[in-house]
Amino acid sequence: MSDVGVLDAGVILAILDDRHPAHDKVRALLTRGRQGGRRLHLSSVNLAEALQHGRPITQASGLDLVALLETFDVTVHRPDVAVARAVAGLARLPRASLADRFAAATAVVLGGRLHTTDRALAKAVRGSGVRLPITVY
């Protein structure tokens, strides 16, 4: 099993909202990453998505999302040509947004596990024949 994990924006949003059903499981994942149990990555595309959708929470709390991710040793991954090609190759995924495809493609290119709160994305990837381990929260 790979020790690389790739997070989607939904996982980041779950850590921001302590009422989210996946909050405790995501906190445990991020804590394991900080303790060296798994190297966690977040595409810069998914970071932008999390910053956008998490803005109401971060503005109300004063929380700096990027600083929070740094405390959990989450690496922001900058997409390269290999990721761009993989994203384009995932265009066949039904109802998967461009940001969803960046998360999945980053996991494929890094040889890691995709961590997501998006059951539809997980189902689409699994049904596509793409070999990618996925954990849904």
pLDDT tens digit sequence for 87-125: 999 999 998 999 999 999 999 999 999 999 999 999 999
Query: How much is the pLDDT for 33?
Result: 82
In contact, 8 and 2? CB cutoff 8 Å? no
The token duo for 9 is 């924006």
- Global pTM reads 0.94
Which residues constitute the domain of residue 26? 4-136
Banded pLDDT at 69 (limits 50, 70, 90): very high
Q: In sequence order, what are the residues at sequence separation of 6 or more whose Cβ sits closer than 8 angstroms to the Cβ of residue 111?
A: 2, 4
In contact, 99 and 12? CB cutoff 8 Å? no
Based on the structure, what is the number of domains in the chain?
Answer: 1
Poorest-pLDDT segment among 1-5, 48-52, 77-81: 1-5
Query: How much is the pLDDT for 44?
Result: 98
Instruction: Return the ∠ at Cα 122 (arms to 37 and 92), rounded to 5°.
Output: 125
Kindly report the average pLDDT of the chain as a whole number. Answer: 95
CATH number for the domain harbouring residue 90? 3.40.50.1010
Residue type, 51: L
Biggest distance spanned by C-alpha atoms of the chain: 42
Phi-psi region at 62: left, alpha or beta (left = phi > 0; alpha = psi -120 to 50): left
In contact, 49 and 10? CB cutoff 8 Å? no
User: What whole-number distance in Å separates Cα of residue 13 and Cα of residue 1?
Assistant: 26
